Structures are given as C-alpha cells and as structure tokens.
Amino acid sequence: MLDTRTRKLTLAGILVAVAVLGGLFSIPVLGSRCAPVQHLVNILAAVFLGPVWAVGVAFAASLLRNISGLGSLMAFPGSMIGALACGLAYHYTKRLGITCIAEALGTGILGALAAYPVAAFLMGLTPASYTVYIVPFLLSTGAGSILAYVLLRFLLPKIRRD
C-alpha cells in the first residue's frame, strides 16, 4: 500500500505533466502565453494536494514549460501566486467557488502585477504600464477557473461517494 506522501507525489507529477502538455494550447498575448490549463491544474492541485503542493506543482510546470519553450518567464509569478491563493482559499473554506475566484484574483490581479517587473527587468520588455498584464491574465485564469469549477462539480461528488 502506498503512503500518503507517495500518492501526493504521484498526483503532483501527473498534474505537472498535464500542465506542461496543456501549454501546447496557449494563446500569445502581450509577450506572455495565456495557458488556461495551468489554472485548471492549479485548482486541482489546491483541492487534492493543498497549498504548498499546489505552489510546487505550479513552479515545476512553469519551469518545464520554460525549458521546453512552451511558456514565458511570466508563468512563474502568475501561476505560483494563483496556486497559493486558491490553495489557501480551499484549505480554509473548503468551498469550490471561492477557490476558483481566489485563483482568478491571485493570478489575474496579483500575478499580473508581479509579472510587470519580470517583463521589464528580466525579459527586457517595455510594458506600457504595470497594469498591462491584468486583462490577459484574467482572461486566461477565468477560462481555466471555469473549466476547473465545471470539472470538479461533477468529479468531487463521485470521489466523496467512493
């Protein structure tokens, strides 16, 4: 029988793989690549693994997406802040709707604001304003959050019943 840590590590690896492969379906917007699958994975990791593991999954997925050329450096602040926000929201409330909103606000607002210095100082881009990434990040995280909400509304009752 596998212990809990082994199960968590296995699920985390699967979620990283889904996020990296989901990066193939990204939309380039203003120097970043919007990847709704990453936000779906953030919420799944938050619900099934917890906040610390969710941040680890987001980091590993961002790193692999960057190494493979499927992402940009802005994936780090966006996905990791969103994963932490939704992980903490689910940990404290156990409510899926609040978790999805926390992912959208964490990535869409806080992650977008944190992406500005990454774009300006690390990537050499000249964004017009520190708020320029909010709309694209909100679009991406909104799509991923809606997908996660719909998926988990059907999945969680089945898992809890078994």
Would you kindly state where each structural domain of the chain is located, as residue ranges? Answer: 34-161
Encode pLDDT of 32-41 as tens digits: 667 789 999 9
Q: Give the span between the Cα atoms of 64 and 66, in whole angstroms.
A: 5
3-class DSSP string for the chain: CCCHHHHHHHHHHHHHHHHHHHHHHCEEECCEEECHHHHHHHHHHHHHCCHHHHHHHHHHHHHHHHHCCCCCCCHHHHHHHHHHHHHHHHHHHCCHHHHHHHHHHHHHHHHHHHHHHHHHHHCCCCCCCCCCCHHHHHHHHHHHHHHHHHHHHHHHHHHHHC
Question: What phi, psi does 95 have (nearest 5°)?
Answer: -110, 125
For residue 151, pLDDT over 60 is answered with yes
Token pair for 127: 């964004």
* pLDDT confidence of residue 35: 78
Encode pLDDT of 37-69 as tens digits: 999 999 999 999 999 999 999 999 999 999 998
Average pLDDT along the chain:
89
- Provide, rounded to the nearest whole percent, the portion of the chain with pLDDT above 90: 60
* pLDDT confidence of residue 1: 38
pTM tops 0.85, yes or no: yes
Pick 133 or 43 by higher pLDDT: 43
Encode pLDDT of 72-131 as tens digits: 888 899 899 999 999 999 999 999 999 999 999 999 999 989 988 888 787 877 777 778
* pLDDT confidence of residue 24: 86
Question: What phi, psi does 50 have (nearest 5°)?
Answer: 105, 170
- Assigned fold of 34-161: Arp2/3 complex 21 kDa subunit ARPC3 (1.10.1760)
* pLDDT confidence of residue 31: 59
Q: How confident is the model at residue 9 (pLDDT cuts 50, 70, 90)?
A: very high
Pick 135 or 31 by higher pLDDT: 135
> What's the average model confidence in pLDDT over 130-141?
85
